[in-house]
Amino acid sequence: MTLDDYRAHFNKTLAALYPEEEIISIRSIILENVLGLNRVEVALSRKLQLTPQQINELDTVLERLKQSEPVQYIVGQTEFYGLELQVNRATLIPRPETEELVTWVLEETTKKQPIEILDIGTGSGCIALALAQQLPNARAEAVDILIQAIETAATNAQNNQVEVTFFQQDILEADSLPRRYDVIVSNPPYVRELEKAAIKENVLRHEPHSALFVSDNDPLIFYRKIAQLAVNNLKEGGQLFFEINEYLGEETVMLVKEVGFSNVTLKKDLFGKDRMIRAVK
């Protein structure tokens, strides 16, 4: 079987499950990963005869894709803000909206002065690592409840040669934070149980529920707790940034104000959805 034959087989197998554009993108990631070739080499190897072992490996991957497992978990990595990050079942796959949050933080901070940053619910470490890399004078710390996430984030820091201090902590149980910060940023769990029906199969079946879901009774539990901690642990003029549930923009702004921030801005993402909040102490 040639590479071209396998391409056709790949497309046909996934046609009913994924849109065509997504199949092409997934196929390219898988072929590069399994065959150990770069994008150009894959494009130039249409008549390459695949070995039985390669076909076997590709078939195994195809089977996982049919079970709607995200391609990022299959190859064990993804890209975020130009960083190559390991991801696994303990870490959420970073989303483009979160890159927008990082961009906002960078727009509102200065590269020149030393600043102290805390990322709460770090997962793969994506936010903390991107900020630490872009802000050479920053001292970044990051916390997550899951030790497996902390371990992955620490590996990602090492692989990308970025310095971040990680610690394991259930933020809902924290009475205070270790120090005072210039920036506290968080993309906490925010999807309500009632929104589960609208969540895609690949997310629901494979991504960590503890990273995604909150109860319908108190969906802003993380925002309340983190905003309360931030009131005490941000320096004067310090900033709190949140990624938020698109359906709860106004409610989240109100909550952050009630907790003690007067200067609060709500921002939409590229899709026009309420997605981020910035509050200044």
Interaction site with ligand SAM (CB under 6 A) = 92, 94, 98, 121-124, 126-127, 143-146, 149, 170-172, 187-189, 210-211
Q: Are 164 and 137 in contact (CB under 8 A)?
A: no
Q: Least distance from C-beta 20 to ligand SAM, angstroms?
A: 27
Residue with smaller CB distance to ligand SAM, 127 or 256? 127
Residue with smaller CB distance to ligand SAM, 62 or 164? 164
Strand ordering across the sheet containing 138-144:
164-168, 138-144, 115-120, 181-186, 234-243, 274-280, 263-268
Q: Least distance from C-beta 174 to ligand SAM, angstroms?
A: 8
Residue with smaller CB distance to ligand SAM, 70 or 121? 121
Pairing label, strands 234-243, 181-186: parallel
Residue with smaller CB distance to ligand SAM, 45 or 88? 88
Residue with smaller CB distance to ligand SAM, 62 or 249? 249
DSSP state of 92: P
Output the 3-class SS for 176-243: CCCCCEEEEEECCCCEEHHHHHHCCHHHHHHCCHHHHEECCCCCCHHHHHHHHHHHHHEEEEEEEEEE
Q: Least distance from C-beta 123 to ligand SAM, angstroms?
A: 3
Q: Least distance from C-beta 189 to ligand SAM, angstroms?
A: 5
Q: Are 231 and 261 in contact (CB under 8 A)?
A: yes
Q: Least distance from C-beta 243 to ligand SAM, angstroms?
A: 7
User: Smallest Cα–Cα separation from 184: which of 212, 222, 145, 154?
Assistant: 222
Q: Least distance from C-beta 45 to ligand SAM, angstroms?
A: 34
Q: Least distance from C-beta 114 to ligand SAM, angstroms?
A: 23
Residue with smaller CB distance to ligand SAM, 172 or 270? 172
CA pair distance 128, 51, nearest whole angstrom: 42
Q: Are 115 and 140 in contact (CB under 8 A)?
A: no
Sign of CA dihedral 35, 40, 42, 44: negative
Q: Least distance from C-beta 172 to ligand SAM, angstroms?
A: 4
Residue with smaller CB distance to ligand SAM, 54 or 72? 72
Residue with smaller CB distance to ligand SAM, 145 or 255? 145
User: Smallest Cα–Cα separation from 108: which of 240, 258, 249, 244?
Assistant: 240
CA pair distance 207, 73, nearest whole angstrom: 9
